[in-house]
Structure 1
Amino acid sequence: MTNIDLEYENTVKFLFSQLPMFQRDGASAYKKDLTNTLKLCQFLGNPEHQFKSVHVAGTNGKGSSSHYLAAIMQKAGYKTGLYTSPHLKSFTERIKINGVEITKEAVVEFVDLIKPLIEEIKPSFFEITVAMCFHYFAKEQVDIAIIEVGMGGRLDSTNVIIPEVSLITNISNDHQQWLGNDITTIAGEKAGIIKENIPVVISERQPEIEGVFVKRAKQLNSYLYFAEDYVQVGTNEGLVIRTDNMEVNVHHVQEAAYQQRNLKGVIKVVEILRDRGFDVNESAIVAGVEEAFAITGLKGRWQKLGSKPLKYCDVGHNEAGLRYVINQIKNYTFDKLHIVIGVVNDKELTSVMQLLPKEAQYYFCQADIPRALPASKLQQVASEYDLIGYCIPNVNKAIEVAENNASENDFIFIGGSNFVVAEIEGL
Structure 2
Amino acid sequence: MHYGESLDYLYGLQRFGIKLGLENIKNLLDALQHPEKGYSVIHVAGTNGKGSVSAALAEILQQAGYKTGLYTSPHLHCFTERIQVNRRPIPEVDVVELTKEIRALSPGVPATFFEFTTALALVYFARQKVDFAVLETGMGGRLDATNAITPQLTLITPISLDHVEHLGGDLATIAGEKAGILKKDVPVVIGAQEDCALEVLLAQSSRLNCRPWVAGVDYTVIPRGSRFTFAAQGICLENVKTSLPGRHQMHNMGQALAGALALREQGATLTEEMLRRGVESVRWPGRLEWWGDGDFLLLDGAHNAAGAQVLADYLISLRPAGVRWVFGMKSGRKPADLLLPLLPLVTEVYCAPPPVEEAVAVQDLCEATAGQGVPCSAYTSPEDALAAALAQRIPGEIVLVAGSLYLVAAARDYLQQQDEKDL
Shorter-chain TM-score category? over 0.9
- 1:310 aligns with one of 296, 299, 313: 296
Read off the aligned partner of 1:19 and give its amino acid letter: L
Counterpart pick for 1:11 among 6, 19, 24: 6
**Structure 1 residue 406 corresponds to structure 2 residue 401:** no
What does residue 250 of structure 1 align with?
Answer: 240
**How far off its partner does 1:356 sit?**
2.1
For residues 350-374 of structure 1, what are the alpha-carbon distances to aligned partners after superposition, in whole Å with 9 as ceiling and x for unaligned?
3332212244210111112123112
1:25 matched residue in structure 2? none
Match of 1:381 in 2: 368
- 2:421 is matched with which residue? none
Give the residue type in structure 2 aligned to 1:401. Answer: A
- Are 1:129 and 2:117 an aligned pair? yes
Distance in 2 separating the partners of 1:53 and 1:99: 16
Q: In structure 1, how many angstroms separate the alpha carbons of the residues matched to 2:306 and 2:4?
A: 36
Segments of structure 2 that go 5 or more residues without pairing to the other structure are 417-423
Q: Which one-letter code corresponds to 2:372 in the other structure?
A: Y
Alpha-carbon shift at residue 117 of structure 1 (Å): 4.6
Aligned amino acid, residue 361 of structure 1? E
Match in the other structure for 1:148: 136
Residue equivalent to 2:258: 268
**CA positional deviation for 1:83:** 0.5
The equivalent of 1:97 in structure 2 is 85
Deviations 1:28-59 (A, max 9, x none): 51112111101111111111222101100000
In structure 2, what is the Cα distance between the partners aligned to 1:373 and 1:236? 38
Q: 1:213 maps to what in 2?
A: 201
Considering only aligned residues, what root-mean-square deviation do their CA atoms show, in Å? 1.7
Q: Which runs of 5+ in 1 are unaligned?
A: 1-5, 22-27
Q: Which amino acid aligns with 1:317?
A: H
Partner of 1:116: 104
Q: Which aligned segments of 4 or more residues in structure 1 are displaced greater than 6 angstroms?
A: none
Structure with more relative contact order (C-alpha pairs < 8 Å, separation 6 or more): 1
Deviation track 1:101-160 (CA, whole Å, cap 9, x = no partner) reads: 111111011111122355422211111110011001111111111110001000000001
Does residue 299 (structure 1) correspond to residue 288 (structure 2)? The answer is no
Q: What is the TM-score when the length of structure 2 is the normalising length?
A: 0.93
Match of residue 340, structure 2, among 315, 335, 354: 354
In 2, the alpha carbon distance for the partners of 1:154 and 1:260 equals 28
Distance in 2, matches of 1:221 and 1:280, equals 25
Q: 1:309 offset after TM fit, Å?
A: 6.3
Q: Give the alignment's TM-score, normalised by structure 1.
A: 0.92
Q: Which residue of structure 2 lines up, in the alignment, with residue 3 of structure 1?
A: none
Q: Which moved more, 1:216-225 or 1:107-116?
A: 216-225
**CA displacement at 1:323 relative to structure 2:** 0.3
**Cα distance per residue 1:258-314 (max 9 Å; x no partner):** 112212321211111000000001111111111111xxxx21111001566601111
CA deviations over 1:187-234 (Å, ceiling 9, x no partner): 111111011111111111321221111221122222222122122222
Given that 1:48 and 1:160 are in contact with CA atoms closer than 8 Å, whether structure 2 keeps it comes out as no
* C-alpha contact 2:338 2:403 (8 A) present in aligned 1: no
- 2:145 aligned partner: 157
* Identity rate, percent: 32
Structure 1 residue 237: deviation in Å?
Answer: 6.1
